[in-house]
A and B are shown apart, each in its own frame.
Chain A
Amino acid sequence: MSTDVADSAVTPPAAGPPPGIVVRGVSRSFGAVRALDAIDLEARAGRITALVGPNGSGKTTLLLVLAGLLVPDTGTVRVAGHDPVADGPAARARTGWMPDAFGTWDTLTARQVLLTFAAAYRIPTATARVRVDELLATVHLHEYADRPASVLSRGQKQRLGLARALVHSPDVLLLDEPASGLDPRSRVDLRILLRKLADEGRTVLVSSHVLSELEEMADDAVFISRGRSVVPETITTRSTWHVRALSLGALTGWLTAVGAAWRPGEGTPDGPGSVLLEVSGDEGAAQLVRDAVAAGVPLTSLAPVAGALEQAYLTLEEERR
């Protein structure tokens, strides 16, 4: 880590899984609005954790508490082993936070913005220069390094914001809707970057509404609704899959024979077609492929109708507010 925070008094965490983020019973109200209501959450180091929930469910509020900007009314928080409330500087030195909405200083160039933040994190100038060049290349902004940050496009600003959150090589990354405004190419880059950061042993907590995308990058998911963490019922149990074969007749015939409850999809019995089928998890899907091939059914594809995250999300009873 290139941060040199005077923190030698803190003993290194004991052997075992690195702490990452631990939230226990955190509540936070804004007047009458209970934005967080005794929420529990864990995000482990080396993994990408998705934070999913409807509008106004308290995702941003939770990230603000984790970033050390808001005091929770009750509950305890540990970020990289530090309490952002009692030991703010130590926690903040290890936390990279990217807000969902942020501004840039009009007259500074992208490079100056990053250098300023490096200085604010007490990174020595020489180290900072190297680091900033590295980051500008990472987020593909080196072309714009010396142009005013205010003329960057929305997506470019978003990427600059990501670089800003990474400037001090934080152990814990808190990203609030980082992909909004990004083009498809940048989304892929973001995914690869976050995976790389997680593989380096960092804790990554990402909030987003684009579930298909979270699905591809997240290892874990935390659902939050009305300020509470909720466990969706159907996750990793049964989900709907789209099964396609060269001959729809052969497929439906076989399925009926084995007693599977299928629903018609598309296609005519003579030609190629598909059905919808309830399958229990990935193991169930593998089993289905094995059995179908053994039975001589000309399978062409097998895919979940919607992402597991999306399905889980839709099973949440709670509504958006």
Chain B
Amino acid sequence: MTSMSPIAIDEPKAPEQPRISRRGTWGVSWHGVRTVAQLELRQRVRSTRWIVALVVWFVVVGGLTLLLSGFLSDAMLGTGNSGPLMFGAVVFLVLGLGLLVTPTLTSTAVNGDRNAGTLATLQVTLLSPAEIALGKLAAAWLAACAFLVLSIPFLVVALFMGDTPPFAVVRVVVIVALLLVSVCGIGLGFSALVSRTAGSTVLTFITVAALVLLTPMLFGLTFSSVEQEENVQVWGPVDGSTFGEDMECGFTTQVQTVAHTERTWWLLGINPFVVVADGAGTGPIVHDDYGSSADPLGSIRDGVRSLRTPNRVDNQCYYASDSLPANDQRGDDSAIWPWGLAANLALGAAGFVIAVRRLAIPSRTLARGTRVA
């Protein structure tokens, strides 16, 4: 019964460690990505649960928007336009809820399939690891964007309340979408790295929470450490001049406490909320007799941008503040959001790369306590 005669085959010289060809790892075809994305969407998304989630989202965002608009129209009665405030509130609401929902879309994408025993059968097909990872990422991103698209009506409502440039809606939607794809990438990376789905979900949430909450906390905590006493140029009343309309100002040097936030501003710069606020492109903050216009996005933008140049000349010439020579008045006003967005996207890309490498077969090492099949 057992008949084992050697089969004539040119036998290669056996190297100690077989060389793994990663030639096919990064190959990507539209067909392959679409196959995986379709599968993911069908599998995770096309269910009643998903419809319910969308409806709940719409109701929650819509409800909160309504409440806000009611509240604002009462509170702001007669004090100018509540449009920018409303717009900022809806943007932050959408971003916040988006950051809450999105991690769950990919944080079990790889280890969940592995536990369910469906990953290995997909890996042995001709799909490349990059196609599998990209397909999963695309499906999750599409799902996240569905939530975003459902929120657009409320952004438009805020737009109609005035004082927000229409193009801000487009900018906000694009930037939020890119932030969400970063979160998808981070989740994908953790799901490939950690064998338990609960673990990868928690890690993804922690990472998002770190970006959102930890960065301002760290900024605050490090604030005192970047403060120091130093000589500062002050534009103030020259000796002998009187306070009042005809105040005469000149440069003097004083010892003041200066916070060198140019060392730590980037902590805020990578915060998703700051990225969106900075990139939204709402109008300039107008300072007039009633105070500053209530535009949270613009205020955050101006605030964080000014942190980069803390040792601007201290202008103490209160009654004639315009007298300061112009080139001393202006700080660095270039946009922050491209850098912040790039940092977020880099995190997402890192997660994606990890996922592709972990999906590559044949594998040499397995996570402790897992089997391939």
- Chain A residues in the interface with B (C-beta under 8 A): 3, 5, 16-17, 19-20, 22, 24-25, 30, 42, 44, 60, 64-65, 67-76, 78, 81, 83-89, 92-93, 95, 97, 99-108, 112, 116-117, 119-122, 164, 176, 218, 220-223, 231-232, 235-236, 308-309, 312
Contacts and interface: CB of A to CB of B under 8 A. Distances in A.
B373 A76 contact: no
Given A99-B117, A102-B117, A220-B4, A70 B372 contact: yes
Contacts of A103: 116-118
B2 A222 contact: yes
Given A64-B373, A86-B20, A95-B124, A30 B366 contact: yes
Contacts of A69: 120, 123-124, 361-363, 372-373
B110 interface: no
A99 B371 CA distance: 12
Interface in B14-53: 14, 16-21, 23-24, 31-32, 35-36, 38-39, 42-43, 46-47
A120 B38 CA distance: 11
A26 to B, nearest CB: 9
A5 B24 CA distance: 13
A65 to B, nearest CB: 7
B126 interface: yes
A296 B315 CA distance: 128
A65 B362 contact: yes
A194 to B, nearest CB: 17
Contacts of B121: 97, 99, 102, 117, 164
A22 B8 CA distance: 10
Contacts of B364: 71
B117 A68 contact: no
28 contacts: A19-B9, A22-B9, A42-B6, A69-B362, A74-B17, A88-B24, A88-B362, A89-B24, A97-B121, A101-B117, A101-B373, A103-B118, A105-B118, A108-B39, A112-B42, A120-B36, A120-B127, A122-B32, A164-B121, A220-B1, A220-B2, A220-B4, A222-B2, A223-B2, A235-B1, A235-B2, A309-B1, A312-B1
B18 A86 contact: yes
Interface of B: 1-4, 6-9, 11-12, 14, 16-21, 23-24, 31-32, 35-36, 38-39, 42-43, 46-47, 116-118, 120-128, 361-364, 366, 372-373
A95 B125 CA distance: 9
B7 to A, nearest CB: 6
A102 B373 contact: yes
Given A24-B11, A106-B43, A60 B124 contact: no
B20 to A, nearest CB: 6
Contacts of B2: 220-223, 231-232, 235-236, 312
Nearest to B40: A105
B61 to A, nearest CB: 27
Contact of A42 (B4, B20, B120, B124): B4
Given A42-B4, A107-B47, A74 B126 contact: no
Contacts of B47: 107
Contact of B118 (A70, A104, A121, A222): A104
A44 B8 CA distance: 11
Given A22-B9, A107-B42, A220-B4, 19 more contacts: A42-B7, A64-B372, A69-B361, A69-B373, A72-B18, A76-B12, A78-B9, A83-B12, A83-B18, A87-B21, A88-B361, A92-B125, A101-B373, A105-B42, A107-B43, A117-B125, A176-B373, A220-B2, A236-B1
Contacts of B122: 120
A73 B17 contact: yes
A178 B366 CA distance: 25
A73 B126 CA distance: 24
A241 to B, nearest CB: 16
A176 B16 CA distance: 28
Contact of A92 (B1, B19, B124, B366): B124
Q: Closest 7 interchain pairs by CB?
A: A103-B117, A120-B125, A99-B373, A103-B116, A119-B35, A102-B117, A71-B362
A83 B362 CA distance: 11
A73 B362 CA distance: 11
A86 B19 contact: yes
A168 B161 CA distance: 59
Contacts of A81: 9
B7 A85 contact: no
Nearest to A40: B4
A112 B40 CA distance: 12
A49 to B, nearest CB: 10
Contacts of B117: 99, 101-103
Nearest to A81: B9
Nearest to B19: A86
B362 A22 contact: no
A21 to B, nearest CB: 9
Nearest to A229: B4
A230 B130 CA distance: 40
Contact of A108 (B9, B43, B362): B43
Contact of B21 (A5, A65, A85, A116): A85
A85 B3 contact: no
A116 B126 contact: no
A218 B2 CA distance: 10
B362 A70 contact: yes
Contacts of B8: 16-17
A24 to B, nearest CB: 7
A5 B116 CA distance: 29
A71 B16 CA distance: 12
B7 A17 contact: yes
Nearest to A106: B43
Nearest to A98: B121
A97 B46 CA distance: 28
Given A70-B363, A86-B20, A121 B373 contact: no
Contacts of A93: 126
Nearest to A74: B16
Contacts of A73: 17
Given A95-B124, A231-B2, A71 B20 contact: yes
A42 B4 CA distance: 7
Contacts of A85: 18-21, 362
Nearest to B119: A103
Nearest to B123: A69
